[in-house]
Amino acid sequence: MVDPRVIHSITIEMCTGFLLLAGIAVISKLAADTWLRRLRGHVARFDRWAENVSRFAEPASYFALTAGVLATFVSMVTGSLAWPFEDLVNSPTVHNKVLTTAASQALFIGAVVLRSRYKAAIWSTRVTSLGYSLTILTGVALMTLQNSIAGHLAGKGSLLDDVLHSLSINSHNIWVFPEVASLVILVAFPLAALAIFLGLRAAGRRLGSAVAA
């Protein structure tokens, strides 16, 4: 019989890979769009590259984000089966892993909702594209932290320990973030959703005025 921890490790790699791909694709899309808005015409070859990156990075980020969210739910199930129930209930490190996973998953789900609602138009303005991107990249940062905590659960430690210690972050505490950071995480998605809504509405009004003129 296969060790449940092995299966859990596989599902973690799957969701981590998809969500990292989403983050990389979002950064690539931002960089390409920035070039096309500000530097188009300076270097023809870079213009072509930026157009291709912008065209393919957007659907790639959406696919990877959706797949990553689904894979994370699978990873939650395999994780619950990988350790005895008593360990899950009594371990502060497990509690911390659950909390950080819930926070990152909330941001990723929020990003999927935003992209599903506004489709590719979410990239039509700098404000909306930046809000959407920051939502995803904040989720990626939290995912990196939760994987660091998972390394301690598996008895392997984490390559990020020195960095976390320098930032006074103790992954063994019940809640790893200071109060201010926790508040920012809590309101990040609603603020991003509001910014995107207002930005797209303003863009729609400008477009309507231009057509009417």
Taking only the tens place, the pLDDT of each residue in 126-161 is: 878 888 898 899 899 888 888 777 666 666 656 666
Tell me the pLDDT of the chain averaged across its residues: 78
Sequence-distant contacts of 78-81: CB under 8 A, at least 24 apart = 78/4, 78/7, 78/8, 78/11, 79/8, 79/11, 79/12, 81/4, 81/7, 81/8
Residue boundaries of the structural domains of the chain: 4-212
- Confidence (pLDDT) at 164: 67
Residue 63: pLDDT band (50, 70, 90) is very high
pTM, rounded to two decimals? 0.76
pLDDT value at residue 212: 46
| Residue 200 tokens, joined | 């797209």
Query: Which pair of structure tokens corresponds to residue 174?
Result: 């019940």
Is 53 or 166 the better-scoring residue by pLDDT?
A: 53
Residue 157 has a CB neighbour count (10 Å cut-off) of: 10
